[in-house]
């Protein structure tokens, strides 16, 4: 009956029944069900019964049941759905308890995917609050380069900022920067201007690559935004902004 109850409870709306299901699973009285088990976990941990514990509710619940941090949390993150501010705060807090690299890797996978912008925004907020170091950015620079081709403007802008940090630290090759083309083709001017600024920095540091920089920047001369069209010739003529 325990398995049957768990299956029924995760395919219907039984309110706080998730906690009972979780207890049955932990005690070995039922197998972990499918259905809406993960969705119900996300909702119930925000209002979990351990309200007397120190710290935000979600973080307290995950500390109380560390098995969730071994499996379920990562399965939820892999669904690429936004989890809300309570989960965001909890994961940032728990990142300093041995989960930082895995959180960054999980967010990176979503940001280089073709997910919905509204969901990607949550994962971008997670990464920004984690504030990756130069070393963490460097070890994930292949993903940063892929993010520059995202359909999500804020993701592209953040990726360009990360590449600038790496370039100024000497942690990314100029050839890799010159391989980036997509931001200049975007309609929004912020990403296009950020891309031009990064290319101008590359031209200053590597004058011998000026022709290649010019070839890339030339793609912005017919951009639909006047600000972008005006900025491109400055790089072509002087190699600076």
Question: pLDDT tens-digit profile of 15-61?
Answer: 567 888 888 888 888 888 777 888 888 988 887 655 444 446 899 88
Q: Look up the pTM and report it.
A: 0.87
Lowest mean pLDDT among 5-19, 113-127, 145-159, 224-238: 5-19
CB-neighbour burial class of residue 135 (10 A; exposed 0-12, middle 13-18, buried 19+): exposed
- 226 neighbors 241 (Cβ within 8 angstroms): no
Task: Name the residue among 213, 160, 161, 152 with its Cα closest to residue 188.
Answer: 152
Q: How confident is the model at residue 104 (pLDDT cuts 50, 70, 90)?
A: very high
Instruction: Identify the top-confidence range among 43-47, 191-195, 216-220.
Output: 191-195
Percent of the chain clearing pLDDT 70 (strictly above): 88
Quick one: tokens of 75?
């399965």
- 145 neighbors 177 (Cβ within 8 angstroms): no
CA–CA dist 77, 103 (Å, integer): 9
- 54 neighbors 60 (Cβ within 8 angstroms): yes
Lowest mean pLDDT among 19-28, 82-91, 100-109: 19-28
Task: Name the residue among 90, 84, 80, 31 with its Cα closest to residue 60.
Answer: 90
Residues in CB range of 123: below 8 A, 6 or more apart: 80, 82, 106, 107, 110, 111
- 153 neighbors 188 (Cβ within 8 angstroms): yes
The reported pLDDT for the residue numbered 57 is 81
Q: Residue 211 CB: number of other CB atoms within 10 A?
A: 8
Q: Within 13 A of 109's CA, how many CA atoms are on the CB side? A: 12
The reported pLDDT for the residue numbered 114 is 81
CA–CA dist 140, 135 (Å, integer): 9
Residues in CB range of 102: below 8 A, 6 or more apart: 74
Quick one: tokens of 104?
């960054």
DSSP 56: -
């Amino acid at each position: 009956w325990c398995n049957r109850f768990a299956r029924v409870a995760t395919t219907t709306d039984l309110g706080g029944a998730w906690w009972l299901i979780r207890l049955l699973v932990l005690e070995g009285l039922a197998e972990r069900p499918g259905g809406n088990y993960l969705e119900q976990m996300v909702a119930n941990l925000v209002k979990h019964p351990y309200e007397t514990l120190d710290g935000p509710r979600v973080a307290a619940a995950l500390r109380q049941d560390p098995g969730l941090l071994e499996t379920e949390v990562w399965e939820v993150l892999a669904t690429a759905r936004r989890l809300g501010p309570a989960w965001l705060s909890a994961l940032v807090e728990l990142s300093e308890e041995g989960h930082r690299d895995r959180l960054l890797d999980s967010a990176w996978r979503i940001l280089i995917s073709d997910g919905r912008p509204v969901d990607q925004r949550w994962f971008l907020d997670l990464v920004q609050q984690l504030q990756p170091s130069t070393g963490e950015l460097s070890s994930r620079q292949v993903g940063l380069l892929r993010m520059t081709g995202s359909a999500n403007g804020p993701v592209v802008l953040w990726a360009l900022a990360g590449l600038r940090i790496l370039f100024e630290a000497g942690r990314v090759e100029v050839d890799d920067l010159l391989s980036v083309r997509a931001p200049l083709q975007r309609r929004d001017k912020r990403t296009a201007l950020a891309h031009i600024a990064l290319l101008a920095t590359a031209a200053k540091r590597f004058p011998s690559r000026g022709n290649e920089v010019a070839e890339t920047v030339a793609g912005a001369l017919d951009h639909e935004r006047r600000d972008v069209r005006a900025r491109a010739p400055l790089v072509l003529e002087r190699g600076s902004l």
